[in-house]
Amino acid sequence: MNIILLDTNDFTGNSKVSIRDRRAEHIINVLHAKSGQCLKVGMINGNIRHGTCISTNKNCVEIEVDNFNILPPPPLPVTLIVAMQRPKTMKKIIQSATAMGVKKIFIIETWKVEKSYWTSPLLTQEKLEEQLRLGLEQSGDTIMPQITIKKRFKPFVEDELPTITAGSLGLVAHPDSTMKCPHQIDGQITVAVGPEGGFTEYEINKMSDIGLKPVTLGIRTLRSEFAVTALLAKLT
Amino acid sequence: MNIILLDTNDFTGNSKVSIRDRRAEHIINVLHAKSGQCLKVGMINGNIRHGTCISTNKNCVEIEVDNFNILPPPPLPVTLIVAMQRPKTMKKIIQSATAMGVKKIFIIETWKVEKSYWTSPLLTQEKLEEQLRLGLEQSGDTIMPQITIKKRFKPFVEDELPTITAGSLGLVAHPDSTMKCPHQIDGQITVAVGPEGGFTEYEINKMSDIGLKPVTLGIRTLRSEFAVTALLAKLT
């Protein structure tokens, strides 16, 4: 946890915060914060601020927050479209993409997505937000990414993807492509990543039809969470 | 498991293999292989071959292996020097670096490495090999990387690192550096990655003294396993 994220309802006064949950636990048990100690705090969807630990009684931490505003780190200019994965893997992808600065994530259905994954409790608003917060806390960011779930591939690609990719370089990760994933792209990027078994030829063709270029990370197959990190790292 | 890795002692005849362990389990329960089915197999530290499933009785799988040799994927021209991490994280780093094609890994002691990590059972030859095999199986590779453990930072950097980095671009990941991690380097690379809390200034200076350039991945702090993947992806 490289930043303590605060909501307006954590405030008990104009500048005084009182928290009791895993953030308090972290401040007490990991940071071993004492009264007077500086803490990096951030307003969810707002700026980064300096906090001063006032007290750590039992499970409650009180913080005085100053008004000096520091901008959060800039976002990554990438929209990530990712097929639904095994929930454990999906969590890692959401956390790591968020930590890297992605602000728009679409989780989509594709032919090879295991149907049972869609019943995962991860896909509730609350649980997704938990993963986003973990990613923000890791990277010292405050701006919540937006996750959109799209359960029908064809209408998503035909009706929505053209608008999403407009003005950006559109790419789709495809091991069979002969074009290597490019490096250090200037400007906006949209990148699509398939499920464990990859996209089908039909799906690749549908996305190519609206301008996404199939690119490969090489002949080595990486686990999805590392493939997403590798793609984002190469592209930016 | 994108390849079934075989040792010479798996062979019961010139070209016949009999296995009973987690590889057999995978062939039966994940691949649902039937008699006659093709399997991608590879000789540890050798070539990739075609296998044909002969039988899957109970927990025993028999495979007929042909003599047609396919070269394993080329290695990544990167030597990875990584401070010892929390064992769970270290496992992921070994697996993912191996999957990406790194063939030389040094696990080193630094000031901020938690002393207790060194008592982890992970650091036995057998357990390390397990992680290397998982990485190879993921990426369809056969060539075992070499892991060397160095428990004394100063003699390692002074006496061994100059030879290790000779003829390569030497880099050390350091969040405070003003130089961004470069992309797509031609030729050999040596890259050093610190523990969770980073290298100390002393350690950065020692490595700079022998020519390693401090580079940053940006102001966002990533989890070590994703930072290693991001570095390897950018550099190659």
Specify the pLDDT at position A68: 85
Question: Is A230 within 8 Å of B231 when comparing Cβ atoms?
Answer: no
Size of interface A-B (CB pairs under 8 A): 82
d(CA B178, CA B74): 33
Nearest CB neighbour to A220, from listed B99, B183, B225? B99
Note whether A183 contacts B: Cβ–Cβ < 8 A. Answer: yes
Q: How far apart are the first and last CA of chain A?
A: 24
Question: Is A223 within 8 Å of B73 when comparing Cβ atoms?
Answer: no
Taking CA–CA distances from A221, the nearest residue in chain B reads: B139
pLDDT exceeding 70 applies to what percent of chain B? 100
Average pLDDT, chain A: 96
Q: How far is A222 from chain B (nearest CA, A)?
A: 6
pLDDT exceeding 90 applies to what percent of chain A? 97
Specify the pLDDT at position A67: 86
Note whether A234 contacts B: Cβ–Cβ < 8 A. Answer: yes
Mean pLDDT, to the nearest integer, of A24-34? 93
DSSP, res B158: I
Mean pLDDT, to the nearest integer, of B124-133? 97
Question: Is B222 within 8 Å of A73 when comparing Cβ atoms?
Answer: no
Mean pLDDT, to the nearest integer, of B166-186? 96
Question: Is A222 within 8 Å of B141 when comparing Cβ atoms?
Answer: no
pLDDT band at A212 (very low <50, low <70, confident <90, very high): very high
Question: Which of B 198-227 lie inside 8 A of A, CB atoms?
Answer: 217-223, 225-226
pLDDT digits (tens, 9 = 90+) for A139-167: 999 999 999 999 999 999 999 999 999 99
Nearest CB neighbour to B229, from listed A73, A220, A229? A229
Average pLDDT, chain B: 96
pLDDT digits (tens, 9 = 90+) for B7-38: 999 999 999 999 999 999 999 999 999 999 99
Nearest CB neighbour to A233, from listed B101, B139, B233? B233
Q: Does residue B58 have a pLDDT over 90?
A: no
For the full predicted model, state whether its pTM sits above 0.80: yes
Question: Is A96 within 8 Å of B222 when comparing Cβ atoms?
Answer: yes
Strand partners, B19: B61
Specify the pLDDT at position B166: 97
Residue-wise DSSP of chain A: --SEEE-GGGBSSSSEEEE-SHHHHHHHHTS---TT-EEEEEETTS-EEEEEEEEEETTEEEEEE-S--BPPPPPPSEEEEEE---HHHHHHHHHHHHHHT--EEEEE--TTS-GGGGG-GGGSHHHHHHHHHHHHHHHT-----EEEEE--HHHIIIIIHHHHHTTSEEEEE-TT-SSBPPSS--S-EEEEE--TT---HHHHHHHHHTTPEEEB--SSPPPHHHHHHHHHHHH-
Nearest C-alpha neighbor of B157 from the set B148, B165, B145:
B165
Taking CA–CA distances from B101, the nearest residue in chain A reads: A220
Note whether A230 contacts B: Cβ–Cβ < 8 A. Answer: yes
Specify the pLDDT at position A58: 82
Q: How far is A192 from chain B (nearest CA, A)?
A: 17
pLDDT digits (tens, 9 = 90+) for A169-183: 999 999 999 999 999
Q: Classify residue B125 as exposed, middle or buried by CB count within 10 Å of its CB (0-12, 13-18, 19+).
A: exposed
d(CA A192, CA A160): 14
d(CA B47, CA B76): 17
Q: How far is B13 from chain A (nearest CA, A)?
A: 31
Amino acid (1-letter code) at residue B95 = Q
Nearest CB neighbour to A222, from listed B100, B220, B231? B100
Question: Is B140 within 8 Å of A220 when comparing Cβ atoms?
Answer: yes
Mean pLDDT, to the nearest integer, of A112-127? 96
Nearest C-alpha neighbor of A199 from the set A230, A224, A182, A181:
A224
Nearest C-alpha neighbor of A215 from the set A170, A181, A166, A169:
A181
- Here the tokens at position A98 are 């968020």
Question: Is A218 within 8 Å of B96 when comparing Cβ atoms?
Answer: no
pLDDT band at B59 (very low <50, low <70, confident <90, very high): confident
Question: Is B73 within 8 Å of A218 when comparing Cβ atoms?
Answer: yes
Q: Does residue A69 have a pLDDT over 90?
A: no
Taking CA–CA distances from A136, the nearest residue in chain B reads: B220
Taking CA–CA distances from B223, the nearest residue in chain A reads: A138
Note whether B144 contacts A: Cβ–Cβ < 8 A. Answer: no
Contacts with B229 from chain A: Cβ below 8 Å: 226, 229-230, 233
Q: How far is B183 from chain A (nearest CA, A)?
A: 7
Question: Best mutation site among B31, B131, B223 for testing chain A: the one with the most A CBs within 10 Å?
Answer: B223
Question: Is B221 within 8 Å of A101 when comparing Cβ atoms?
Answer: no
DSSP, res B36: T
Contacts with B70 from chain A: Cβ below 8 Å: none
Q: Does residue A120 have a pLDDT over 90?
A: yes
pLDDT exceeding 90 applies to what percent of chain B? 97
Taking CA–CA distances from A219, the nearest residue in chain B reads: B73
